[in-house]
Amino acid sequence: KEKRLKDLQRTGNCLVKRLQKQQQGGWMDESLFFSLVDMKLVGRVLRMSRVSSDHLEWCQSKLLKVTFRGRKLVRDPSFLLFPS
């Protein structure tokens, strides 16, 4: 998922795509940013020295909230940034 997010980020550098994003209100930029943040957080949690089953469930729920339909990013909203 992280690789596909980076591919989407690279395609955003095209001038035509930037103009289309401005017309859409920039929702895709925010969604892409928060998805990348989620991937970084999941990676950090998984690299911790002690990982509990609650941490793994949190990581799984974060990963399930980021999906792709075709080349479009679909992200469900989440309110918990960090595992408890």
Q: Is the dihedral of CA 36, 39, 43, 45 positive or negative?
A: positive
Does 21 map to a domain?
A: yes
DSSP 8-state secondary structure symbol assigned to residue 77? -
In DSSP terms, 3 is beta-bridged to: none
Does 27 map to a domain?
A: yes
Q: Give the three-state DSSP class for 39.
A: helix
**Alpha carbon distance 12, 38 (integer Å):** 19
Does 29 map to a domain?
A: yes
In this prediction the pTM is 0.61
Greatest CA separation found in the chain?
Answer: 46
pLDDT per residue of the chain (84 residues) written in tens, 0 to 9:
777 777 777 766 565 555 565 555 555 667 788 888 888 999 999 999 999 999 999 999 888 888 888 877 788 876 666 665
- Which range of residues forms the domain containing residue 40? 2-75
Does 84 map to a domain?
A: no
Q: What's the structural domain count of the chain?
A: 1
